[in-house]
Structure formats: structure tokens, C-alpha cells
Amino acid sequence: MPFDRFMDLALYDAEVGYYRANRPRIGYGGDTDFFTATTSGPVFGELIAAACTSLLGTAGARKCTFVEIGAENSDGVLAGVAHPFGRVRTIRFGDPIEISGNCVVFSNELFDAQPFRRFVFRGQHWREIGVAFRDGSLIESEIAGAVPSSLPETAPEEYIIDAPMGAASLAKRIAEAPWTGLFIACDYGKSWRELTEACPAGTARAYHRHQQTNDLLARPGEQDLTCHVCWDWLADALSQHGFVSPTVDSQESFFIRHSTRFIAETSAAEAAKFSKRKLSLLQLLHPSHLGQKFQVLHALRA
């Protein structure tokens, strides 16, 4: 089967999918697999609320429903956070996405968890990498058939492209829905040029118990699978559906620009101590931590 079909089963199958299992995935404990911005506590949600208020204005934010897609739990990123929004909704991984009215549509590491296809340039041709079951084991296997025309005409031998087509399809579905307001997606990704010229081994990887591995077929249903999103594709999906000037910033730059007052007030309040809030802020903003590792795509539709 194609790799995106395998990934869809491994992550989202109702019975065995990784994101369907009722167990902790995010955190610092030994029974979790990875940590993300939400692990830093409420500070991340406070930064998001402050940025939305800056971009929409307080009155505009009050008219919006804050919709978080891909929330790990029913509380979402705004749990325990004072915010101006009229209403808050969370949509869990794999649940139907229904959006309408005035909204802030927010996600954190949603798009990198969407199924992707894999291609390798071998013998002067692009070949799709799929998954087969042989002699009791899952193995990589080439799949015959046409490949997308978006792939470059040529590449170095054995160059791998992990094409995040599921992420692009999801962005299109979100943008097609009848809602207006602010789109914010925090994730890690690259431009299409970077993916096709600067990532010869691809960007796919798996996470299990805080260990990164390239064995994507091990422990199906028990490990996270991910690849870098293509920001160009997501921005195009937004532009084609009326969003104005989709912009990608580093997480550090986005919050420095749009959560300025909150950062200044928090830094001043915590200046004389090394508190958990101060540490969380440093983790989220510092370029050697999450500040540059993650990017933020944001755009408005009136």
C-alpha cells in the first residue's frame, strides 16, 4: 500500500491508531513520546491569546469562536487562560472538522501529523515508496504508477522527498469551510525548494519514548510518525480561498511581533526570580529552543 495509507491506519485507525489510543503522548515523563509548546504550561496559550488580540483587536476577538483543531484533550491550549473570545471549541485528532461564523482557527503540530507520500529518485526516475508485508515483517516496497507532476524533473540519485500532501489537503478543507477570521498554525516545515534541494534523506521520522528514529515501520500504532510540512502548499491553499497575504514567521518572531505587551509584562514580573513561567517563556521564544524550531503560518479572511 502507499505510505500515506499505512500512516493513516497507524495514526488514526479507530481501533489501533496512535492518536486514538487513550494514553499520554505529550510530556516529559518516561511513558510519553515527545514534548511540544503546550508542555510549557499555560504560557503558550497566553501568548496565543495575546497574539490573536493584537491581530484582531479586542472587539474583533470577542466576536470570534476560538477553534483549536488537533487538541490533545478537551481543554485545549486555552485551559486556565484568561482570553477575550466569545466561545472556545476543541476538535480532537480524527474528529470531523466543521467550522462556520467568525473564528480563530488554531492548531499546534497538526499538519505535520497528516499522512504523506514518499518518493525516491532512482535510475533517472521518481519512484513511490510504499509498504508491504512479507515473511512476517513490514518492509519498504516500490509502487508502480504515475507520480505527481509537482516533483522536480531531476534530482541526485537516491534523493528522497517526503511530500506532505495530507497537510495540503487538510489546509484546503479548512479554508473551504464557511468561516471568516484568523488562521494560525504552529508547526515545523520548509519551503518546497528546501524540501526538493536541501533534504536528500527526506524529513520523515518517528518518535517513541522521546527517541527519534528513522524506522518508520516499527511499532505501528505505538509511535508517532511525522514529516516537515510544505509552507508553500499551505499558504497557497489559504490564498486560493480568500485569505490575505499568508505569512510564515519563526515562532520567536511571531510572538515578539504580536504578543509584545504580554512578553514585556511577564518578563518584568518575573525578572527577579527564576520561575516556571520565566523558564516556559524562554523555552518558547529562545532561538536555541522552540523559537526557531517551530514556525507560525497566519492569515486573515475578512
Write down the pLDDT at residue 161: 98
**Number of domains forming the structure of the chain:** 1
Instruction: Supply the pLDDT for residue 37.
Output: 79
Separation CA 87–CA 180 (nearest Å): 15
Which residue's C-alpha cell is 502548499? Answer: 233
Grid cell listed for 58:
479586542
Handedness of CA 250, 251, 255, 258 (dihedral sign): positive
Residue 143 class from Cβ within 10 Å (0-12 exposed, 13-18 middle, 19+ buried)? Answer: middle
Q: How far apart are CA 199 and CA 122, in angstroms?
A: 16
Sign of the dihedral through C-alpha 240, 241, 245, 246: negative
**Cα distance between residue 47 and residue 291, in whole Å:** 13
What CATH number should be reported for the domain holding residue 64?
3.40.50.12710
Residue 131, Cβ density class (10 Å: 0-12 exposed, 13-18 middle, ≥19 buried):
buried
The three cell numbers of residue 5 are: 495509507
Local confidence pLDDT in tens for the 302 residues of the chain: 999 999 999 999 999 999 988 887 777 777 787 877 777 779 999 999 999 999 999 999 999 999 999 987 767 999 999 999 999 999 987 788 999 999 999 999 999 999 999 999 999 999 999 999 999 999 999 998 889 999 999 999 999 999 999 999 999 999 999 999 999 999 999 999 999 999 999 999 999 988 999 999 999 999 999 999 999 999 999 999 999 999 999 999 999 999 999 999 998 888 877 788 888 999 999 998 888 999 999 999 98
Asked if 25 and 16 touch (Cβ cutoff 8 Å), the reply is no
Q: Beta-carbon neighbour count of residue 138 at 10 Å?
A: 16
Q: Which one-letter amino acid corresponds to residue 286?
A: H
Rounded-to-integer distance, Cα 174 and Cα 19, Å: 20
Q: Domain of residue 46: give its range.
A: 3-301
Q: In the prediction, which pLDDT does 145 show? A: 85
